[in-house]
Amino acid sequence: MLLDADESQLLLVDYQSRLMPAIHEGELVLANALRLGRLARLLEVPAWGTEENPAGLGENPSELRALCRKTLAKMHFNAVDDGLTELLRAPARPQQAGNARSLPRHLQKAPQPQAERNCIVVAGCEAHVCLMQTALGLLDEEFEVWVVTDACSSRTERNRDAAFDRLAGAGAELVTTEMVAFEWLRTADHPLFKQALTLIK
């Protein structure tokens, strides 16, 4: 089973200014998060962010926020409890204006939901707290969850690795930034391959 860009969304969890200096390999983790965000933008994969208690922990870097359609401020460690699911579920298509006589029959139906992007590619900090609890919450909501291990971390390696073990046991797929990129692309013939390769390298 491979990731499909047309079925994916990207979620970037809590790369916040007062948290990142304490994170193990924080600079590398943030660099990979930015790569993911840029790839998502290039390949038209919707990207979202979260910030845990931003008044206390600060905001995500402005460059990262700019790559996200929306950044959800939250107080729960599991962002699902603060409304994340509503962002990720496809909204209904708006109903056409007009009255029953002026609209063709096929436009008189109730709005239908758009095709869902049910594969959530998720990365963030801390891996054993907000990232893990959010990923488990998404699994409970019946999303497919793909955790980008080289774009996640905690203050300690032990906590990070314990989170990965638990997530894999719960059914999340563990991947890397490059795995995501090449699965979204699928082929060197992809029209955006050269641009994507520049972002990866």
Q: Is the pLDDT of residue 112 over 50?
A: no
* Top-confidence residue, 84 or 116: 84
Q: Which residue has the tokens 């599991």?
A: 78
Specify the pLDDT at position 109. Answer: 56
Domain membership flag for residue 94 = no
Q: Kindly report, residue by residue over 29-85, the tens digit of the pLDDT.
A: 999 999 999 999 999 999 999 999 999 999 999 999 999 999 999 999 999 999 999
Are the CB atoms for 180 and 58 separated by under 8 Å? no
Residue 108 lies in a domain: no
160: in domain: yes
Is the pLDDT assigned to residue 113 strictly greater than 70?
Answer: no
As a whole number of angstroms, the distance between CA 151 and CA 200 comes to 13
In a domain, 104, yes or no: no
% of the chain at pLDDT higher than 90: 84
Both tokens of residue 26? 């924080």
- Is the pLDDT at 120 greater than 60? The verdict is yes
pLDDT of residue 141 exceeding 50, the answer is yes
Give the pTM.
0.87
Average pLDDT of the chain? Answer: 91
Does residue 146 form part of some domain?
Answer: yes
109 within a domain of the structure (yes/no): no
Predicted local confidence at residue 101, as pLDDT = 55
Which H or E run includes 177?
helix 177-185
pLDDT band at 91 (very low <50, low <70, confident <90, very high): low
The β-bridge relationship of strands 173-175 and 70-74 is: unpaired
What are the pLDDT digits (tens) for 98-111? 555 555 555 555 55
In the chain, the number of structural domains is 1
pLDDT of residue 200: 86
Q: What is the pLDDT of residue 104?
A: 59
The CATH number given to whatever domain includes residue 73 is 3.40.50.850
Give 3-state DSSP helix, strand, coil % of the chain, rounded to 5. 45, 15, 35
Expressed as residue numbers, the domain containing 162 is 5-89+115-200
- pLDDT exceeds 80 at position 186: yes
